[in-house]
Structure 1
Amino acid sequence: MKVICAGLWKTGTKSLAESLRILGYKVFDYDDQLFELGELWDKFHNGTVTDEEIHSSLKDIDVLVDGPVVAFWEEIHKVFPDAKIILTIRDEDSWYKSYQKMHEIISLKCHYKDSAQCNDPVFEGKKKFGLSQANSDVRRQLIAVQQ
């Protein structure tokens, strides 16, 4: 593990992922994480993941970007302390519009699936998530890691 992206989706993460692929990194983007690391993320969500499981699952991946890593980048960084952290940022209003559009597309796709699988707690109630607050939280955590 060389790079962990702590930025939220719709903040340039796809461009970052493609740039790092061009540079030769083995990048696990949102889909890769869900399909190839699903069991690991389940353990993260359940609070049962061990440092050994994190290390063995991620040791051959150079970059994690987008998706579940946003919620667990600190735990991963603890296991891979030499990994660089990248925080992608975006103007909150344009981010919200883009995120809202993405969510509408996902909702349309989920219309024919189990709607429980399509619920998005970030968007629930159509409230702003607070991108600037999330970015501030990551910045504070990064400063604490450096000290």
Structure 2
Amino acid sequence: MIFGIGLGRTGTRSLTKALRLMGLNAVHWDNVGAHVLDRWFDSELTLPSDLDAFIEGPFVRWWRAADRLYPNSLFILTTRDKSEWLDSVERWMGRWNPPIGDEWFNRRLFYWGTRRFHRELFSAAWDEHHE
């Protein structure tokens, strides 16, 4: 199994496309996020057996758990300049503030702990992820 563990806005969709061009069955978090999020704490969490790569999503933050669930996996970290990344995330999150209960509201809370952009919080998350 291949896991793309770069934060959103670091080329994760491009990585998904590249892996597909190489003939791999790769999915991006946007396509299966709700399925994984709903079952994340379920002890029976499994990814489809025909899947070669899962890009972004909860495994970005919990890649060690993914490594235990799927031994001998490959992990690809996509990245970009931190300041550019913060600006990109701010634009992306600022375009739309999902209502409470919406799937994207739940994803933002799960992934970031907030539904709104906070530069200091996201800067700290970047630093932690790249240690």
The DSSP-based 3-state class of the residue aligned with 1:115 is coil
Q: Which residue matches 2:69?
A: 79
Are 1:115 and 2:100 an aligned pair? yes
Q: Is the 8 A contact 2:4 2:78 kept in 1?
A: yes
Higher normalized helix content (fraction of residues): 1
Q: What are the ranges of 5 or more consecutive residues in structure 1 without an aligned counterpart?
A: 44-48, 137-147
How far apart, in 2, do the equivalents of 1:70 and 1:92 lie? 16
Classify 1:93/1:28 alpha carbon distance in 2 versus 1 (closer, same or farther; 3 Å).
same
How far apart, in 2, do the equivalents of 1:38 and 1:125 lie? 21
Question: What code does the residue aligned with 2:81 have?
Answer: D
How far apart, in 2, do the equivalents of 1:133 and 1:71 lie? 10
Deviation digits for residues 10-67 of structure 1 (CA, Å, limit 9, x no counterpart): 11111101100111111121222224434323x2xxxxx32xx23x434331111122
Q: Is the 8 A contact 1:29 1:66 kept in 2?
A: yes
How far apart, in 1, do the equivalents of 2:5 and 2:83 lie? 19
Q: Is the 8 A contact 1:87 1:135 kept in 2?
A: no
Q: Is the 8 A contact 1:33 1:68 kept in 2?
A: no
Number of equivalent positions: 121
**Deviating more after overlay: 2-11 vs 121-130:** 121-130
Q: Over alpha carbons, which structure has the higher Rg?
A: 1
Percent sequence identity over aligned pairs: 24
Q: Which residue matches 2:128?
A: 133
Q: Which residue matches 1:90?
A: 80
How far apart, in 2, do the equivalents of 1:22 and 1:125 lie? 33
Q: What are the ranges of 5 or more consecutive residues in structure 2 without an aligned counterpart?
A: none
Deviation digits for residues 85-115 of structure 1 (CA, Å, limit 9, x no counterpart): 11111111000000011101232xx3xxx33
Question: What code does the residue aligned with 2:118 have?
Answer: K
TM-score, scaled relative to structure 1: 0.70
Q: Is the 8 A contact 1:33 1:67 kept in 2?
A: no
Are 1:59 and 2:49 an aligned pair? yes
Q: Which residue matches 1:69?
A: 59
TM-score, scaled relative to structure 2: 0.77
Computed over aligned residues only, the root mean square deviation of the Cα atoms, in angstroms, reads: 2.2
Q: Which runs of 4+ in 1 moved over 2 A?
A: 35-39, 56-60, 114-125
